[in-house]
Amino acid sequence: MDSSQRSDPLVGLVVDARYRVDALIATGGMSAVYRGLDLRLDRPVALKVMDSRYAGDSQFLTRFQREARAVARLKDPGLVAVYDQGLGDHGAGLPYLVMELVEGGTLRELLRERGPMPPHAVAAVLTPILGGLAAAHRAGLVHRDIKPENVLISDDGEVKIADFGLVRAVAEAKITSTSVILGTAAYLSPEQVGTGDATPESDVYGVGILTYELLTGTTPFTGDSVLAVAYQRMDNDVPPPSAAIAGVPPQFDELVRRATRRTPGDRYPDAAAMGADLAAIVTELGLPPFRVPAPANSAQHAASAEFHSRLANRADSDDGDEHTTAATAPPQAPPPILPPREATPPPAPRQHTREMPRDPDDWDRPRTPYRSGQFAGIDIDELVWARQRGRRVSLFWAVGILTLTAMVAAGAWTLGSNLQGLI
């Protein structure tokens, strides 16, 4: 989604006499996301308000309500909770979802800030994603739109998937958008490109592409157009991440390979099966636990700062009014309502490192300013070196033992062959 903090006609309104719209977080092809407040429960929430073109589509509204009810029943730490849904005041406004407000940012924003991740950070991101998808797959639901923009990271290190059900509702309404296609093309499975069908295996394919991007900093397919990117996966296998960046463990190459096979039946059958393989890889490689950092310059943080700044300005203004009497103070105009500030633009694209990081033991220390060739402030070339050093020690011991064994065997054979002559 494109971040924006400009003035918005919905900001300040109360929807259905319950949800106050406080600040615009981001806009996209299907909807806009706002920071809001549930006035009844005094709880901060996220409001996803659908585009006006969906308001008059009865098929979409029916599907929208049905999908919202289904998703609201899902309970998993890896899923953004859905609290409520509505169609605007008395059903005549814009359809909206009320969701858990994740104070943090998106995985896309984190990748822009910090670049590709080492294997233990990738595992920390994927584990809750696959857990949330597994809960949905068990309930018979498919996400259909796995991508970094739909993965939220909280300031507490929680990783959650958002936007379940929206793609299906939009698809059945036969309303498409260039920006929707642009945001999805890099992660679509071959069957979604070819027939539009989506199954749990389609979500697995999207997670496979996401895994490739987390490890390398890029998606595997590029092209001159959206269609070119989408159709490349029809005839081409996803290359191993180790072909793009040195030091990726072969276990992650195999994870990506199996998740992104072109035939759905050759992939993991669902997110639970892929999650089990990932857990086995974590154990096999001895990957350390990792707390995923939230992006520092996120649209959500900008919206939150803007909202609290306006509250502070109003409080200062009200406090000044209390100390000014009508007899002593000259007439004053009310303080102007300033439009929200523009969000901090994302950093310029940079050249990612071509090697995996080396030291896996110090990734959860306090964040330091980012530099090229780093993730979370640590140089990205330590993990391979440490792993190779351990392998060299083991190799030296093995070679030494084999050499000693060979020498003893050769000596014994020589002694046995000349035993008659010695006697």
Q: Model confidence at 396, in pLDDT bands (50, 70, 90)? A: low
Q: Does 171 fall in a domain?
A: yes
Cβ atoms 246, 355 nearer than 8 A: yes
Identify the band that residue 230 occupies on the pLDDT scale cut at 50, 70 and 90: confident
Average pLDDT over residues 228-243: 90
Cα 267 to the chain's mean position, in Å? 21
Q: Within this chain, do residues 172 and 78 fall inside the same structural domain, yes or no?
A: no
**Considering its fold, how many domains does the chain have in total?**
2
Q: Which of 80-94, 228-242, 308-322, 358-372 has the lowest mean pLDDT?
A: 358-372
Asked whether residue 413 is domain-assigned, the answer is no
Residue-range definition of the domain harbouring residue 134: 105-285
Given a cut of 50, whether residue 2 has pLDDT beyond it is no
- 110 within domain boundaries: yes
Is residue 169 one of the residues assigned to a domain?
A: yes
Is residue 69 situated within a structural domain?
A: yes
Q: Are residues 248 and 266 in the same domain?
A: yes
pLDDT value for 369: 41
C-alpha 242/C-alpha 222 separation (Å) is: 18
Q: How would residue 376 be classed by pLDDT, with cut points 50, 70 and 90? A: very low
pLDDT of residue 61: 84
Q: Based on the residue annotation, tell me whether 145 is a catalytic residue of this protein.
A: yes
Q: Verify that 167 and 268 share a domain, yes or no.
A: yes
Return the pLDDT at 354: 54
Q: 110 and 69: one domain? A: no
Of 55, 73, 100, the residue at which a domain comes to its end is 100
- The pLDDT confidence band at residue 133, using thresholds 50, 70 and 90, is very high
The reply to whether 137 and 235 lie within a common domain is yes
Residue 191 maps to a domain: yes
Which residues are within 8 A (CB) of 301 and not within 5 positions of it... i.e. 6 or more apart?
104, 105, 295
* Active-site option among 8, 22, 57, 145: 145
Residue 126 sits in the same domain as residue 168: yes
In which band, very low, low, confident or very high, does the pLDDT at 318 lie, cut at 50, 70 and 90? Answer: low
Among 252, 267, 285, which residue terminates a domain? Answer: 285
Q: Are residues 254 and 275 in the same domain?
A: yes
Write the burial class of residue 351 (CB in 10 Å: 0-12 exposed, 13-18 middle, 19+ buried): exposed
CATH at 71 = 3.30.200.20
- Same-domain status, 123 and 63: no
Mean pLDDT confidence for 167-188: 59
Residues 235 and 185 occupy one common structural domain: yes
% of residues, the chain, pLDDT over 90 = 45
Per-residue pLDDT, averaged over 231-241, amounts to: 91
Residue 388 lies in a domain: no
Please give the model's pTM, rounded to 2 decimal places: 0.74
Residues 362 and 352: their CA atoms lie apart, in Å, by 21
Q: Indicate if the pLDDT at residue 305 is higher than 90.
A: no
Are 141 and 74 part of one and the same domain?
no
146 and 121, same structural domain?
A: yes
Average pLDDT over residues 196-216: 95
The CA–CA distances, whole Å, from 225 to 101, 181, 213, 267, 316 equal 35, 11, 19, 27, 52
Q: According to the model, what pLDDT value does residue 345 have?
A: 47
pLDDT band at 153 (very low <50, low <70, confident <90, very high): very high
Instruction: List, for residues 54-87, the tens digit of each pLDDT value.
Output: 777 788 888 888 888 888 999 999 999 999 999 8
CB 211, CB 202: distance < 8 Å: no
Q: Is 161 found in the same domain as 30?
A: no
Whether pLDDT at 131 is above 80 = yes
Residue 415 has pLDDT above 90, yes or no: no
Q: Is the pLDDT of residue 363 over 60?
A: no
Given pLDDT bands bounded at 50, 70 and 90, which one contains residue 171?
low
Taking alpha carbons only, the member of 110, 156, 154 closest to residue 370 is: 110
Q: For the residues 177-196, what does the mean pLDDT come to?
A: 72
Give residues with Cβ within 8 angstroms of 198, minimum separation 6.
142, 144, 168, 189, 191, 192
Query: 285, 306, 341 — which closes off a domain?
Result: 285
Cβ atoms of residues 399 and 140 within 8 Å: no
Is 53 part of a structural domain of the chain?
A: yes
Q: How confident is the model at residue 395 (pLDDT cuts 50, 70, 90)?
A: low
Least confident of 13-17, 104-108, 167-171, 213-217: 167-171
Indicate which CATH number applies to the domain containing 196: 1.10.510.10
Share of the chain above pLDDT 70, in %: 69
Average pLDDT, the chain: 79
